[in-house]
Structure 1
Amino acid sequence: MVFLISGTAFGETSPIVQVSPPVSTVSAAPDDGVGQAIQAVLEPLQSAFPPLLTSRKHQRTDINRVVLDFYSHRNYRAAWTNGRDVTQLFKSLNETAFDGLNPADYRGTELLQAQLAMQASAPTPAQSAAFDIGLTRTYITALLQLRRGKVDPSRLDFHWNFDPVGVDPREDVNSFFVALDDHDVAGAFAKAPPQEAVYRSMREALAQLRQVRDAGGWPKVAEGQSLKPGMDGVAVAQLRARLVAGGYLEPHKSKRSDYDDKVIAAVKKYQVEQYLGADGVAGATTLAALNVPVEARIDQVRVNMERARWLLYKLQGTFVVVDIAGYKVALYRDGQPIWRSRVQVGKPIRSTPVFQSEITYVTFNPTWTVPPTILVKDMLPKIQQNPDYLAANRIRVLDRDGNVLDPATVDWYNARGLTLRQDAGPDNSLGQVAIRFPNDYAIYLHDTPHRELFAKSVRATSSGCIRVENPLQLVELLFNDPARWNSEGIQKQLANGKTENIRLPVRVPVLLAYWTVDLSKEGRVTFKPDVYGYDTPVLQQLNLPSKLPALEIPQAENPLVVTGKGEQ
């Protein structure tokens, strides 16, 4: 079985990427006993590898191939002869906990025990070889998981298509080996995770939440009745204590038990940050959120740090990010947000998929072709109940050849081979513009006549597409042509009433991403409802024990035994 790394377990036939460390001078044979023992272990593995393929989609890396190439290019010389390198590795493995990973996954304890046992008596070349190979395998495994994540997102979501273009795993691995040669193991671990500020904020939040957990967690607030302005009592005192612990109320306010203006303001602030209705009343939903255990919030941060390891390398240059769970969209230029807006996304039963694409054109005055699912589940019942529904909504009926049919001639209880198309206009379901990008799901950004829904805190209200609150502002920024496509030019284009597709001069990447943590204006990490329930499977995979092979140090009198079994 081939040992693969960069996500969770992949099958034996999974595409792999050959990763070759920098080439050094190779002599005919190792010139020392440890090198000969390393060669004796690794050379037989050559025949175990399948044909080398490259997958740009998932960038999977075969860890055994990495180890073999590394040692073969250094003529099988031992890599961990400097004790300080080994010490740095053990310390860095323990510190992976700061990134939400489990240090036990990397078998650091086994390696340390083996080191101590070998220090007690002179190790044989076979023992030193097994120890050296084990250190190298652990080193690369931990660094690649810090760099690209432990969990394979494509295994959790068949929509996943985030191609790490411009991120070559060979460059990553080569940099890891350069750091080892430079005796800067700790530096390699420091540089491996995402370097963006949002990741650092989540790392800091994780440490703070663990401090809260170790101190006994957040104060509980009694549930069972809504807490409202003007009330006084034990439950309000508990509410005050919880708001102080969360940083929403000044510490000296915790001793009182009345629901005054300060509490109202603190509750509203909490509700806004948690995507709850901000009415200043601590009702059932707000109290339930306040009473979520700190352990669950720790896990939520860990899940989103894993997502950051999957995605943050994409956030460069000019791009659009749709934050599905946060119901918002942003346009970035030179890596900085220059425009934001609220959005409506798919209902849980018709969730907006997570994927990447490139915005290629804008449709002005779009018509709307009713998707089959909406036609069958939503529209047919309305047509059957109200024969005038189609006319009232300016929807035409087309046959397979595109001919317009009289709705009165259609058997709406046995409707087959029909297309329903809504004419362009302000009340069109797509509004005035649709922003298009290639995908297999008929998903796009668009205007909407349902503007009243933007006032809601929870905006999972569409059938999958993304409704944008201020789409014309985004269109102007996407064209980035102040002379032709300024606000006046866009209004002129809309005023002619024609349905027209206008290509962008430059394609703009768009990422539909899913995050359940956020950053407040004060830099505090806050939490969103997991509207699609995506956090649980990520957490389950993140918590699975590592399948890194157990370290096997041979007895002095036995031949060297190193297992290749196990997958990561």
Structure 2
Amino acid sequence: MVLLTRLFFISRIFFMGFLISGTAVAETSPIEPVDAPISIIEAAADDNVAQSIQASLEPLKSAFPPLLTAPRYRRVDVSRLVMDFYTHRAYRAAWADDSDVAQLIASLNATDTDGLIPADFHVDELVRSHAAMQATSVTPEQRAAFDVATTHTFITALLQLRRGKVDPLRLDIHWNFDSNGVDPRDDVNAFFAALDHHDVAKAFALAPPQEAVYVGLRQALAQLRGIRDRGGWPKVAVDHSLKPGMDEPAVAQLRARMVAAGFLDPRLIHGTKYDGAVAAAVKKYQNEQYLGADGMAGATTLAALNVPVQARIDQVRVNMERARWLLYKLQGTFVIVDIAGYKVAMYRDGQPIWRSRVQVGKTARNTPIFQAQISYITFNPTWTVPPTILKEDVLPKIQSNPGYLAANRIRVLDREGNVLDPSTVDWSNPRGLTLRQDAGPDSSLGQVVIRFPNEYSIYLHDTPHRELFAKTVRATSSGCIRVENPLQLVELLFNDPVKWNSEGIQKQLANGKTENIRLPVKVPVLLAYWTVDLGSDGRVAFKPDVYGYDEPVLRALNRPSPLPVLDLHSAVGSVASARQ
């Protein structure tokens, strides 16, 4: 009897913890609620477990507004899905088959291969409760508690795999990557269909992103964990730079590290000379890791080499989470800016057709993460100096050099748009002025601007600062994205080989007029942030986290879901109050 009571309370606590609509629900289920109407079906008169399930869920109905008038939530309420699921199946138990439970337990334990934490799903409690049910006669109420709790865990885990554990809105209030084009009902219905067909393992196999990049990250995660379990990679313990031509013991450590990284032939692991082979290996490493490729192991390179393997494991986990947020958006035709990778690409029919290097915002003026629609191109653009740049950059230059404005073809305008003589302006306290640079190839925006209206006034554009594209780290702009080959992108965006081919674009530029030309079809643009790269050979390169965005994601990813001990009435009250 003690065991039965313990089983009942384990199952109830297990279920109640997930009913709280705070961190646990908000961080585990990133899709909107299903809006299908509910048809109420009474539990079968001779099915005591179904009647107990119905009785346990009945109090929850008052916690939710009617479906037809309910507000749309960005992230689904799992408890609502559980209630809807059992309503549609006349409250029949879903986990009467022991093999389904066994598949679920194995699948939950395997979520660590996707960078998730199996303990989040309380697998131990599930195992103990299931074992107790098999070994002991249990009441319908106990079976009902177990069944509902298990369904809740099933949905929660699959949604974490499908759309991520962490709610990006909690990290960035401006996050606007929505699920347009992705019907959440398809996901949820697929989960329940797999359960009905006793194919729980298949549901877990198909839930994560199926794209090659995600599969590659999963493989990289397994490889890095293998390195960690074998003791990690060698450290290069030296307090000074290592350079070609040196002969010292620390070079032997560097050789071992280059072998471990796969850049140096294992047969060359021994030796203390910094010869050509070592220098070539270091250059390859530096190129892959977004470091200046000079072949010398200076402070920055040594710091990267000595990053613990666990930190790289966490970096991959963070980027797998970002992949779960975004990969479902990468379909059809779109442009994607990889901010941390300083590059941009255009895809058509899901395949890359063009790539280019970019310069992004400095750390103090970072390029925001968001999505928008490219709608028009500005040829021969003028540049209106933004207030921040005027105050922090341009004004000091004007004050120190009276000829700065003329040299850069910048006009001074008053509030009515009248051109002023710069010599009449009190530059120690300028007010009500607009500074506008005339169009021209050497203007700050170059020859073209690729526009996508947004609240940040961010855009893609040409630049006269072409020398900066040769740098490895290109966080050099004031927030907008400078593109190395913008005219190529413009041609692809128009997708009109007759009118807007290369010759047509040059003709438009040659007339010298500042003119906005709308695209025949708007093209989605996604400004995203990834701190790993996956090469065609499956190798993972780690980028510097230039804006420091990884750590908040990792903290949220590692945060456990709380399981307060509450009775059913208290849990319902918490859900109801959270919606008010």
TM-score band (shorter)?
Answer: over 0.9
Indicate which of 455, 467, 473 corresponds to 1:458.
473
Higher helix proportion: 2
Deviations 1:346-392 (A, max 9, x none): 00100000000011111110000011110111111111111211111
Note the C-alpha offset of 1:251.
1.5
Matches of 1:3 and 1:84 in 2, distance apart?
26
Tell me the equivalent position of 1:376: 391
Per-residue Cα deviation, 1:437-490 (whole angstroms, up to 9, x for no partner): 010001000000000100111000000000000111111111111111111111
Equivalent of 1:69, from 76, 84, 92?
84
The one-character-per-residue Cα deviations of 1:128-177 (angstroms, maximum 9, x if unpaired) are 11100110000000000110101111111122111110112222111100
Within 5 Å, give how 1:36-47 maps onto structure 2: 36-47=51-62
Match of 1:173 in 2: 188
Opposite residue 285 of structure 2, the aligned amino acid is: Y
Structure 1: distance between partners of 2:20 and 2:31: 8
Are residues 48 and 269 of structure 1, via their aligned partners in 2, closer, same or farther at CA, if it must alter by over 3 Å? same
Out of 248, 255, 280, the position equivalent to 1:233 is 248
Q: What secondary structure sits across from 1:61 in the alignment? A: coil
Q: CA deviation at 1:563?
A: 4.8
Pick aligned residue for 1:537 from 552, 562, 569: 552
Question: 1:129 maps to what in 2?
Answer: 144
Q: What does residue 305 of structure 1 align with? A: 320
Candidates 528, 533, 538, aligned match of 1:523: 538
- 1:252 counterpart = 2:267: yes
- Mean Cα deviation higher: 380-389 or 36-45: 380-389
* Cα deviation, residue 232, structure 1: 2.0
Following TM superposition, by how much is the alpha carbon of 1:417 offset from its aligned partner in structure 2, in angstroms?
1.2
Unpaired runs of 5+ in structure 2?
Answer: 1-15
- SS at structure 1 position matched to 2:236: coil
| 1:326 paired to 2:341 | yes
Residue number in structure 1 paired with 2:6 = none
- Closer, same or farther in 2 for the Cα pair 1:548/1:49, shift >3 Å? farther
Residue 311 (structure 2) pairs with residue 296 (structure 1): yes
Of the three residues 48, 51, 57, the one matched with 2:63 is 48
- What's the secondary structure of 1:157's corresponding residue? coil
Matched residues in 1 for 2:126 and 2:217: separation? Answer: 30
**Do structure 1's residue 471 and structure 2's residue 486 form an aligned pair?**
yes
Change (3 A) 1:283 1:397: same
SS in 1 for 2:83: helix
Measure how far apart 1:205 and its partner are.
0.4
Q: Return the alpha-carbon distance in structure 2 between the equivalents of residues 55 and 389 of structure 1.
A: 55
Question: CA–CA distance in 2 between the matches of 1:388 and 1:263?
Answer: 51
Indicate the larger mover: 413-422 or 540-549.
540-549
2:527 is aligned with what amino acid? L
Q: Which residue of the other structure, out of 421, 424, 448, is the alignment partner of 2:436?
A: 421
Which of 153, 157, 163 aligns to 1:138? It is: 153
2:553 maps to amino acid:
V
Contact 2:43 2:50 in 1 (8 A): no
After TM superposition, list the pairs within 5 Å mapping 1:136-535 onto structure 2: 136-535=151-550
Task: Choose which of 135, 149, 160 in structure 2 pairs with 1:120.
Answer: 135
Q: Structure 1 counterpart of 2:394, which letter? A: M
Comparing 344-353 with 245-254, greater Cα deviation is found at 245-254
For residue 555 of structure 1, what is the aligned residue in structure 2? Answer: none
Does the 8 Å CA contact 1:35/1:75 hold for their aligned counterparts?
yes
Alpha-carbon shift at residue 293 of structure 1 (Å): 0.1
| Aligned residue type for 1:399 | D
How far apart, in 2, do the equivalents of 1:422 and 1:159 lie? 30
The structure-2 alpha-carbon separation of the partners of 1:389 and 1:55, relative to structure 1 and needing over 3 Å to count, comes to: farther
Q: Distance in 2 between matches of 1:122 and 1:71?
A: 24
Q: Is the 8 A contact 1:271 1:277 kept in 2?
A: yes
- Partner Cα distance (2:83, 2:238) in 1: 59
- TM-score normalized by structure 1? 0.94
Kindly state the Cα deviation for residue 524 of structure 1 after the two structures are TM-superposed: 0.3
Identity fraction in percent: 73
Amino acid at match of 2:419: V
One-letter amino acid of the structure 1 residue matched with residue 330 of structure 2: L
Q: Aligned-residue CA RMSD in angstroms?
A: 2.4
- 1:406 CA displacement: 1.2
Tell me how far apart the structure 2 counterparts of residues 145 and 548 of structure 1 sit (CA, whole Å): 17
**Aligned in 2, Cα 1:240/1:295: closer, same or farther, shift over 3 Å?**
same
> Is the Cα contact below 8 Å between 2:43 and 2:91 reproduced in 1?
no
Q: CA deviation at 1:118?
A: 2.0
* Post-superposition CA distance 1:184-219 (Å, at most 9, x none): 100110111110000000000000000000000010
After superposing the two structures, state which structure 1 stretch, 58-67 or 280-289, moved more: 58-67
SS of the residue corresponding to residue 177 of structure 1 reads helix
C-alpha separation between the residues in 2 aligned to 1:15 and 1:341?
32
1:82 to 97, 109, 115: 97
> Counterparts of 1:15 and 1:205 in 2: how far apart (Å)?
25
Structure 2 Cα separation of the partners of residues 486 and 6 of structure 1:
54
Count of residues in Structure 1 that have an aligned counterpart in Structure 2: 557
Q: Secondary structure at the match of 2:220?
A: helix
CA distance in 1, matches of 2:439, 2:168: 39
Alignment check: 8 A CA contact 1:446 1:468 kept = yes
Cα pair distance change 1:518/1:441, threshold 3 Å: same
Q: Deviations over 1:383-419 (max 9, x none)?
A: 1111211111100111111111111111112211111
User: Aligned equivalents of 1:365 and 1:247: distance in 2?
Assistant: 48
SS at match of 2:335: strand
CA distance in 1, matches of 2:309, 2:135: 44
Q: Per the alignment, do residues 429 and 9 of structure 1 end up closer, same or farther by CA in structure 2, a change over 3 Å counting?
A: farther
Q: Deviations over 1:534-563 (max 9, x none)?
A: 0000000000012356799xxxxxxx8995
Q: Tell me, yes or no, if the aligned pair for 1:431 and 1:448 is still in contact at 8 Å.
A: yes
Kept after mapping to 1: 8 A contact 2:30/2:160 = no
In the alignment, the residues of structure 1 paired with residue 21 and residue 206 of structure 2 have an alpha-carbon distance, to the nearest angstrom, of 19
Name the CA distance, whole Å, in 1 between partners of 2:70 and 2:532: 34
Q: Note closer, same or farther for the CA distance 1:227–1:447 as it changes in structure 2 (3 Å cut).
A: same
Cα distance in 2 for partners of 1:550, 1:336 equals 50
Paired amino acid for 1:231: M
Structure 1 CA distance, aligned partners of 2:32 and 2:208? Answer: 21
